[in-house]
Structure 1
């Protein structure tokens, strides 16, 4: 694919040249965040050819349950069939293109097009199409399938004809980490969607560092150890960092003995399907990301006897991050809407038998991330306004607190470069 003409403050640019001259350790040039042409390339090559996170198994708990997700101009339908298998289809009727399901979620027996009532079963086979004549062959008009992978309860789709094969490595590595939390045995206690007035890469970059946490996230940092953010080595910080590292090693040994994989795995920019994970200690009681660090749900997940098992963090390229604790799970999906707007979807999961008002109070459970999401939205939106200025120039990342931002940017540049020549 040849790159389309891009303009910055009236001057023409070339996307291939921009990719080639990207300076490692620095933020991206402004058009990567502001250009419609770059956004279109992102949707075609990043979100159109890589595995993207779209939801959780409890989104479709029973046969016939479905959810929809919009990926750029592509409406996607995810449904659990009568055999319990979760499938993904293009949410497009094979007759004249109407969306089959307009709602975000629901339950159906079959998939019936609202326009002319073409009817499909939950495996995508066309069952009924009236007035089509004796020569019409329903078998040639199945729904378009979308690749779907279920990683221990987290659902990923890929819109490419040939998805990246290394996702199997991600799944094999992550399943033992996630499986003890038994995502399939949870329910969605709350979902909140926010729209940030900023480019999706700014949203992801903001997530991949905690340089900004101390000054902006008072609620989140209650449960986080300061030395987990990354510190420049100085005589004042060396001893604190050593003590923190020793504590992490001790906790990891304990959790590993409990059957909870905990060691860091970082492949954010060394794989096409980039990811990272680590179980990290939580401060104070060590139970949960709440305002008092105590569990938000008295009904623990799975068979956990000890609620103080830290927080398992899992990051994926290009669009998600997740936190698994002993009592609940928080999962985040990022979906670009255009070059200036990004959907951030947060879900809180609890044990499927937990009772709201008895086992958990939803306001208590969501307080930390409600506040953090609002704070992050402001930061992203201010960054987006700044990068649109003629005064913006790519700035250097901290080699201590922004290493994961560099890995995100490096992954993004490498992946886009594979398609833009």
Structure 2
């Protein structure tokens, strides 16, 4: 865990002053205060992270009754479990007696969740099944003491959670990109590999890095060889236009290149971001691999490669880059003021067999190496941003447009919170 100097005289008044100052320079990177303040971090968790829809897992990862995974955000943990009726349930990993965690392993299978402290027993649906020696307490009501529920929805095999009981409908937003996302048949896909990269930096620095490709040409040489996003539109437009013209015919999917963007302040509701577009790969490359050549069987309904890739956003913190033969999901979760978990999930066809239909090292090579490069640049960005001498500079008008949309939403959310 990295250590930084923080403001010992921090206050809500100081936060208001910093927010007001940001309004005076809306096209500039934000003040280092927002990466260093413990007050800001707590407000982010309460008013932004825990009120947003977050990707949790794929349904194939918990196929049996009692299968579960833990999702850890900040200092909290959320249990996502397959219940006896086949549905998927999410709940806080906090005993309703005196707060002990009732589940320790990050994955596993349980018939019940038992508090290790005083032995309270919870069913898979979170209801309190037994509480030792409470028969002498006449007002004790088990029905009111189940594990606290977390909102949970499934969409195309992907499970999303939201800790806000009043959270808006995510599915309605995602449905606006049903055709291009549905082409990959993710409901019948499987997770080939998942890996968590612990980044020693504030979560916003990791997310900001993902939201811009200004750094791609200099920091990601292997990625930049293949993907047109590393260039200005004036250079990449002919390549993309050619791909889009033939995308439907080559893939066999009508509407594969449909575009839709409602993110951050433009989202239907808070935390329900939905975005998709199809962009081009350079000639001679068909997928995201070390050499740009196929690494797995075609996904879902694809008939052939079109020289393109699908870019998706689902909620504020979850993203996908989908090639015709595999998909890569990114998720960003704050763990502390100076630590972020960047989770990558690689998907392949549900019937693909490792060692026969795909080689795991070749499948994961590009984005594993790109993420290691990201780790390097993000941590060094963090060291500079946390210098007392850092002075924010202007955003790039094209490359950092999506990043600016995030920052405007972020500052708006904090302003509303105070």
Could you tell me the TM-score, scaled by structure 2's length? 0.89
Q: Which runs of 5+ in 2 are unaligned?
A: none
Partner of residue 107 from structure 1, selected from 109, 116, 123: 109
Q: Is 1:25 the counterpart of 2:27 in the alignment?
A: yes
1:199 is aligned to 2:202: yes
CA distance change for structure 1 residues 325 and 175 in 2, over 3 Å: closer, same or farther? same
Cross-structure match for 1:407: 405
SS of structure 2 residue aligned to 1:133: helix
- In 1: Cα distance, 2:112 partner to 2:6 partner: 48
Quickly say closer, same or farther: Cα 1:245–1:355, change in 2 above 3 A. Answer: closer
Shift in alpha-carbon separation, 1:249–1:180, aligned structure 2, 3 A: closer
Matches within 5 A, 1:249-268: 249-254=244-249, 258-268=253-263
- Relative distance call for 1:231 and 1:292 in structure 2 (3 A) is same
Residue 154 (1) aligns with residue 152 (2): no
User: Is residue 218 from structure 1 mapped to residue 221 from structure 2 by the alignment?
Assistant: yes
Runs of at least 5 residues in structure 1 that lack an aligned partner in the other structure: 1-5, 233-237
Secondary structure class of the residue paired with 2:65: coil
Provide the rounded CA distance (Å) in 2 between the counterparts of 1:18 and 1:156. 33
The answer as to whether partners of 1:295 and 1:307 remain within 8 angstroms in 2 is no
**Aligned-CA RMSD value:** 2.5
Is this contact kept in 1: 2:224–2:230, CA < 8 A?
no
Residue of structure 2 aligned with 1:172, choices 169, 175, 183: 175
Aligned length: 405
Q: Find the partner of 1:50 among 52, 76, 96.
A: 52
Q: Deviations over 1:353-373 (max 9, x none)?
A: 222111111111111011110
Once residues 268 and 251 of structure 1 are traced to their aligned partners in structure 2, the CA distance between those partners, rounded to angstroms, is 28
Shift, 1:215, TM fit? 1.1
Return the alpha-carbon distance in structure 2 between the equivalents of residues 56 and 257 of structure 1: 26
Asked whether the equivalents of residues 253 and 301 of structure 2 are also in contact (C-alpha less than 8 Å), the reply is: no
* Separation of aligned partners in 1, 2:36 and 2:148: 33
Report the CA distance between 1:216 and its aligned residue. 1.1
Aligned position for 1:231 = 232
Residue 275, structure 1, aligned to residue 274, structure 2: yes
Instruction: State the shift of 1:376 in Å.
Output: 0.7
Distance 1:48 1:211 in 2: 29
Residue aligned with 2:390, SS: coil
- The corresponding residue for 1:235 is none
Please give the TM-score of this superposition, normalised by the length of structure 1: 0.88
What's the counterpart of residue 181 of structure 1? 184
| 1:92 matches 2:94 | yes
Once the two structures are superposed, residues 292-317 of structure 1 have per-residue CA deviations (whole angstroms, 9 ceiling, x without a partner) of 212211x3322433244632111245
